[in-house]
Amino acid sequence: MSNSRYSVTELAALLGAEPVLSDLLIKGIGTLESATETQLSFLHNSRYQLQLTDSVAGAILVREEHRHNVRSVALVVDDPYLAYAKATALFAVNRCSSSELISPSAIISPDAKVADSVIIGPNVVIGEEVTIASGVSIGANCVIGAACSIGEDTRLSANVTLYSDIRVGTDCLIHSGAVIGADGFGFANDAGEWVKIHQLGGVIIGDGVEIGAGTTIDRGALDDTVIGNGVILDNQIQIGHNTVIGDCTAIAACTAIAGSTRIGKNCTIAGACAIAGHLTLVEGTHITGMSMVSRSILQPGAYSSGTAAEPHQQWKRNAVRFRQLDEMSRRIKNLEKTVKQQNTEGQP
């Protein structure tokens, strides 16, 4: 639990709300239903309007039209969800302390360049020619391979692995179990036997990137795999070698992206999507969940291919019909051809 305390007046200023005069101390954040008199809450989705009037939260982030439905203190903002996101940073728990700067069990190469303020947890291994900037925090059991660089204020949670030649920008967050720079899936076939293509590129991660737990980003075969500034990657994502992801793109869990695909800026890719290799998705592309992308997308917009859940018996009937589509298509073409011939023969 965070030890942060802010008066309602302070929160209004920090979150860009209309000025409010109140000395009430807010000690945390809760939902409309669960928040106490010393917690902040918010209304973003209109489905929860009924909970708004009953909420006992000490202060609530709302739009102007909901101001008068708040029993306590209304903090009026243009976007309550965005203000809530900013508030979470104020109450986030930071358990690191200056007494834990470098664990005695960490193994650090003598030629690694580590800034004075870096926090290094137990059993961390840092390879040769590594450069780590100030403000970096590295959790327990992380492995930082040779010739890696990590920018200022980046945080690695426990059990993160950076292979060699990985560049991570400033103010990034990499969650536990992420693996950056493993070999891409490259093999050549020699009379039925697979010959490994050694991956000679690296990975470049921009500034302000968040990488979820268990996500893997393959190193490039020759050129680097590139993750742009402000990209957010959910848990359990696979990114193939030489993929390039543009700034501020967001990708949800369990999506797999094959190698050499280029994804533009400000795209969103929902969960469990599959994107084939050597494709281009232009800036502003939005892919809905469970979609299979097998061709390049050259016009911005929303795209879908996954099928929604339905009752099992109906799904079985539709699956049978799907297998019949090719035959039905041929029959329709034959009927159209017959009708056209009859109409032509009937003309004077």
Task: Tokens 């003309």: give the residue.
Answer: 347
What are 51's two structure tokens?
């909970």
Q: Which residue has the tokens 């699956």?
A: 319
Q: What angle do CA 74, 79, 83 make, to 5 degrees?
A: 70
List Cα–Cα distances, 292 to 25, 48, 186, 311, in angstroms: 50, 34, 22, 23
Two tokens, residue 117? 């303020």
How far apart CA 43 and CA 64 sit, in angstroms, is: 11
CA distance 289 to 254: 10
Output phi, psi for 307, to 5 deg: -105, 140
Query: Is residue 42 within 8 Å of 35, Cβ to Cβ?
Result: no
> What are the strands of the beta sheet with 137-138, ordered from one edge?
119-120, 137-138, 155-156, 173-174, 210-211, 232-233, 250-251, 268-269, 285-287, 301-303
Q: Cβ distance 108 to 120 under 8 Å?
A: yes
- List of long-range contacts for 153-157, beta carbons under 8 Å, 24+ apart: 157/213
Q: Is 241 a catalytic residue?
A: yes
Give me the catalytic one of 241, 278, 286, 312: 241
- CA distances in angstroms from 238 to 160, 227, 243, listed in the order given: 15, 13, 11
Amino acid letter, residue 338: T
Catalytically active residues, by annotation: 241
